[in-house]
Structure 1
Amino acid sequence: MSSMKRHYSEKLIKKYFLNNKYIAIKFSLFYLIIALVATIFINKLFFDPESDINNGNVISFNFIFLFLFFTVIVLFLILNYLQNVITKIDKSYKDLKNKEEERLMPYEFALNNSFDQIFWFTTDAKIVYLNDAACNMLGYKKEELLGKYLEVVDPNFDRQKAIDIMYKIRNTPNFILETTQKKKNGEIFSAEVSGHGFIHRGQEYTCTFSKDISQRQEINKKITNMNLELQKSLDEKEILLKEVHHRVKNNMEIISSLLAMQLRRAKDDEIKYILKQSMSRINTMALVHEFLYLGENLAYINLRDYIIRLVQDIKELYISQNTDLTVDLHIDKLIFSTNRCIQIGMILHELCVNALKYAFKEDRENLLCIHIKDLEENIHVKIRDNGDGIKDINSLYKSESIGMQLIHSIVEDQLDGTIEFINNNGLECNIIFSKKEENY
């Protein structure tokens, strides 16, 4: 029962005496009571009731009482005003604090739910803030790291190095560092740290963002190993392909050598010419494989280099030393596949051989023009000699010779292009086909 009374008394004291809401009334009443007690005590102590001037004492007491009463009223008004002002200030402060907390809530949520560790350091590398991700990743509680130094979580730094790195982070734009960090259980993991400096309330700080890159490093290591294996496999395949091109070239040279043996034994001039043409055609195809074997690229060939070499070989095979021949070459920079180079090479071979056979003579200056232009979407091949031309130009479109049939077959069936023969101070052939190669 007594405990219940005591509890009830405490509630009354807290409600009426410790409540700041009525502090002006309570303080005024308390002041009035103390003042009255003091006045009565002083009056009895210093004034005699049996004295002749007792009437004057009463007047003085009444005056003091009125003075105290008005003083209490003034004090109450002042305290009540101050209480209202303080209440408004307190309310404004709480409203501002609540608004600030609401404004900062998304940022605090983002910081604590970030996957990256976020630290605030002082200039001497003391930890003054860390987010939940840092605690979870390192295995510490916040209070275990607050006030500690960088070297607690990063064993790569001592006291001086930690101070130096803080200075470097603050003075280095886009600072990034790969390091290692140590968990509470002693486990070491790789981390990537970025950071910058800032000033808060006149104090310099360093903010760092750290992420665990152990998994990324492991993936990079696997990718590197895979790339090494792929490169090794690619190198082996390149060697194999080069060997294939080398063997194809050698086999074609063997066939050409066999034809050369037959050429030396042949008596008939027409058979000799046919054998020589066959050797030249085989050499045209073998030359492509030679370029692929000797070149760095196993899929594509520089057309200009190939044509220059091809024309030189044709001249050496068909032109005597007494024949004066000038070759005018204008070839745009074009890179073609093996198949396309063989197609163009075979066309040029047949047209050049025809010009060497029918247009050029030993007693005159001979000219062979080979122009190949890149028309963005199409390729234009023009071959012209300065011979006498041909009277029946239409005969070239229905010729039964192997060379002409081969030219028409490649241009129309394989390149899906057009071919035109005209007399232009000699015979001129214009071929146009698409630059884009079809995939078969």
Structure 2
Amino acid sequence: MFSFGKYFFNKNKIARRFSFSYVFTGFIGLLFLDKLVQIFFEHNDVSKNGIFTFGLLFIISTGILLYFMINHMQKVIRNIEKAYNDLKQKEKDRLAPYEFALDHSVDAIHWFTLEGKFTYVNEATCKLDGYTKEEFENMYLEDVDINFTRETSPLCMNDIRTIPNWRIESTHRRKDGTTYPVEVSGHAFIYNGKEYICAFARDMTQRIENRNKITKMNEELQKSVKEKEILLKEIHHRVKNNMEIISSLLNMQAYKSEDEKFKEQMKESRSKIHAMALVHEFLYLGKNLAYINVNEYIERLVDDIKELYISNNTQIEVDLSIDKMEFSINRCIQVGMLLHELCVNAFKYAFKSNRKNLLYLRMKIEDENIHVIIKDNGEELKDLDKLRKSDSIGMQLIESIVDFQLHGTIEFKNNSGLECSIIFPKKEVK
């Protein structure tokens, strides 16, 4: 059903409707007034109060005309006011979630002019700094940040405008005079044709406290580790000294005895003890308490065995070819004892004083295994099976280390002397 009022006062066509109503009402008013004038002059004499009566009719008719026009104008104004309030409410409802998010943000949010004057702060800012939003309207950056002045605040705003991902750590001062550390990030934006700076400040008090606690804990842990390293080094040093004492006691026993076989046994025992003591010496002198440099250890081990078993008039050349690697304590003792026995056998039985002697020792990493070759240039053995079946303590020790400790294989063969090849898995190796 057509509604004249709804159609006539449609806010989208107010100007056209008002113009039409003004022309229509004025035209009807003029026709009505013209008719009244004609009727009046037909029945009245102008000389007898005609002018007064005509004026009265004119005032009444124009009053009626003004009433309709003003009444229509009031309806138009009320309609505009209602439309404005509806639009304002819709805009308020649309911005409500954003205002809620800003005011309930954990971070303090500030809007600045390019001169560093506050134009907006959220509730978090007020809680952190102790000022009201009204107080912030007359404040500048330097009023809360002790690291800026009236001269440097605009420079800071310009840095935020020009530096991507701008971020600093600073210190804010509360209304009561206390300070707290903050991490601040910011960027520029344009609103209503004017450029502003938006900065986010996060209270770093808890983070710094946690960081200081972690730093203190790390320092205490490092101190504890250092103390334990010193203690372990001291333990290795004492173990090494105790082994040297045992070696000296064995040497004293051998010196008092006239049995050459007993003396030789004591000499071999001292050599074995020295091979193990050497591991503890490297741990005591080295920087790493878990691994030992194999190259340096084997070189020192061979030199010590050579010094113990070879006289000055015997010429020996030692050819070492060892990949750079580090062994754990356990693996180093196993390999050290194994090489000790093989080197001692070569020095005792293969080398002669009337010729040039050569000891070749190779240790290489091949895939997931370690391959060791130790070879002398002495006389070849006629019966290699007899060597494997020997009941000597040295041979039993070699077989035991290879089979049960290294979980590897060992092979002897003649190759212009005796050559021993050992392969074992690359475990406990760095």
CA RMSD of aligned residues (A): 3.8
Between the aligned partners of 1:168 and 1:224, the Cα distance in structure 2 is: 32
Matched-pair contact (CA < 8 Å) for 1:246–1:290: yes
Q: Mark the runs of 5 or more structure 2 residues left unpaired by the alignment.
A: 1-5, 43-75
Between the aligned partners of 1:191 and 1:132, the Cα distance in structure 2 is: 17
Between the aligned partners of 1:206 and 1:395, the Cα distance in structure 2 is: 92
The residue that corresponds to 1:318 in the other structure is 309
- 1:56-111 CA distance string (max 9 Å, x none): xxxxxxxxxxxxxxxxxxxxxxxxxxx9xxx9xx99x969x979986x77766654
The residue that corresponds to 2:360 in the other structure is 369
The residue that corresponds to 2:425 in the other structure is 434
Between the aligned partners of 1:432 and 1:174, the Cα distance in structure 2 is: 58
The residue that corresponds to 2:324 in the other structure is 333
Which aligned pairs between 1:387-398 and structure 2 lie closer than 5 A?
387-398=378-389
Give the direction of change, closer, same or farther, for the CA distance of 1:124–1:291 in structure 2 (3 Å limit).
same
Superposition deviation, residue 204 in structure 1: 3.7
Superposition deviation, residue 177 in structure 1: 1.6
Equivalent residues, number:
386
- Taking structure 1 as the reference length, the TM-score comes to 0.76
Counterpart amino acid of residue 409 in structure 1: S
- Taking structure 2 as the reference length, the TM-score comes to 0.78
SS in 2 for 1:363: coil
Which aligned pairs between 1:282-293 and structure 2 lie closer than 5 A?
282-293=273-284
Matched-pair contact (CA < 8 Å) for 2:183–2:204: yes
Matched-pair contact (CA < 8 Å) for 1:266–1:272: yes
The residue that corresponds to 1:249 in the other structure is 240
Which of 275, 295, 299 is residue 266 of structure 2 equivalent to?
Answer: 275
Which of 403, 415, 419 is residue 406 of structure 2 equivalent to?
Answer: 415
With 274-283 and 157-166 compared, the bigger mean Cα shift is at 157-166
The residue that corresponds to 2:224 in the other structure is 233
Between the aligned partners of 2:101 and 2:372, the Cα distance in structure 1 is: 66
- 1:288-315 CA distance string (max 9 Å, x none): 1111111111121111111111111111
Superposition deviation, residue 200 in structure 1: 5.2
Matched-pair contact (CA < 8 Å) for 2:8–2:17: no
Which of 112, 116, 119 is residue 110 of structure 2 equivalent to?
Answer: 119
Counterpart amino acid of residue 185 in structure 2: S
Which of 384, 389, 392 is residue 375 of structure 2 equivalent to?
Answer: 384
Give the direction of change, closer, same or farther, for the CA distance of 1:111–1:395 in structure 2 (3 Å limit).
farther
SS in 1 for 2:354: coil
Matched-pair contact (CA < 8 Å) for 1:388–1:425: yes
Matched-pair contact (CA < 8 Å) for 2:9–2:17: no
Superposition deviation, residue 396 in structure 1: 2.7
Superposition deviation, residue 199 in structure 1: 4.9
Which of 155, 165, 170 is residue 174 of structure 1 equivalent to?
Answer: 165
Between the aligned partners of 2:326 and 2:410, the Cα distance in structure 1 is: 22
Matched-pair contact (CA < 8 Å) for 1:377–1:434: yes
Counterpart amino acid of residue 379 in structure 1: I
Between the aligned partners of 1:216 and 1:18, the Cα distance in structure 2 is: 63
Counterpart amino acid of residue 422 in structure 2: I
Identity %: 55
Between the aligned partners of 1:123 and 1:22, the Cα distance in structure 2 is: 43
- 1:148-183 CA distance string (max 9 Å, x none): 311232233221122222223333343332212233
Which aligned pairs between 1:31-180 and structure 2 lie closer than 5 A?
31=23, 33=25, 110-146=101-137, 148-180=139-171
SS in 1 for 2:379: coil
Matched-pair contact (CA < 8 Å) for 1:249–1:289: yes
Counterpart amino acid of residue 267 in structure 1: E
Superposition deviation, residue 215 in structure 1: 0.6
